[in-house]
A and B are shown apart, each in its own frame.
Chain A
Amino acid sequence: EDKVVQSPLSLVVHEGDTVTLNCSYEVTNFRSLLWYKQEKKAPTFLFMLTSSGIEKKSGRLSSILDKKELFSILNITATQTGDSAVYLCAVGAGSYQLTFGKGTKLSVIP
């Protein structure tokens, strides 16, 4: 059975801190790893990673994949209160299935 594990489950930081969120996986027929940000209800797409060692970057957010060790990290630098959300990691395997982790709840306090 495909499995995605995120850590930590929750995290509280102060504005300006840098955070690293972790995602490890065990899947067959790996195709991609995706990160989503969920505020309130709708997850919004952040990154899709398919190749090891290539960093994806968008503003203060960046992510990298290690297909040998089967994990990915999501970094957020200079955190802001608007970064408070649940961050979901999902792994694509087979033709269309995404398996989601339980998420990391990030709280950024002023």
Chain B
Amino acid sequence: GAGVSQSPSNKVTEKGKDVELRCDPISGHTALYWYRQSLGQGLEFLIYFQGNSAPDKSGLPSDRFSAERTGGSVSTLTIQRTQQEDSAVYLCASSLQGAQTQYFGPGTRLLVL
């Protein structure tokens, strides 16, 4: 079946603009995760959704970052008033409920000028 998909693949924006990144998880996966990977760094956890439960937002770096998941499927990560330090690859992953193995999408490379 289809894997995790993300769009856009690449996004270039100007400092101060808002951006929206989209993630479509594997069908049937109820858990969805967002990570950020800066150059030369490991994956940094941002947010976790599980079914209809309240999301774990503990990894969001500032209140400029928010995410939602509609209908238990597609998720959107929004970054408001982007800063140059937001430049990174944003990765989405999904998994079955309770499973440790997460499957990743191809990511969105964000560049803030």
Task: Assess whether B40 is in contact with A102, with CB atoms less than 8 Å apart.
Answer: yes
Main secondary structure of the interface of B (DSSP, over half): strand
Task: Assess whether B42 is in contact with A96, with CB atoms less than 8 Å apart.
Answer: no
User: How many whole Å from A2's CB to the nearest CB in chain B?
Assistant: 11
Counting chain A residues whose Cβ lies within 8 A of the other chain, the interface size class is 20 to 34
User: What are the residues of chain B within 8 A of A90 when measuring CB–CB?
Assistant: 43
Number of A-B residue pairs having CB atoms within 8 Å of each other in the complex: 55
User: How many whole Å from A35's CB to the nearest CB in chain B?
Assistant: 11
Main secondary structure of the interface of A (DSSP, over half): strand
A 20-66 contacts with B by CB, 8 A: 31-32, 34, 36, 40-45, 48
Is B105's CB within 8 Å of the partner chain A? Answer: yes
A48 to B100 alpha-carbon distance, docked (Å): 8
Name 18 interchain pairs, CB-CB below 8 A, sorted by A: A34-B100, A34-B102, A36-B104, A41-B106, A42-B105, A42-B106, A43-B91, A43-B104, A44-B104, A90-B43, A95-B98, A96-B31, A96-B100, A98-B102, A100-B42, A101-B42, A102-B41, A102-B42
Chain A residues proximal to chain B, CB less than 8 Å: 4, 31-32, 34, 36, 40-45, 48, 88, 90, 92, 95-103
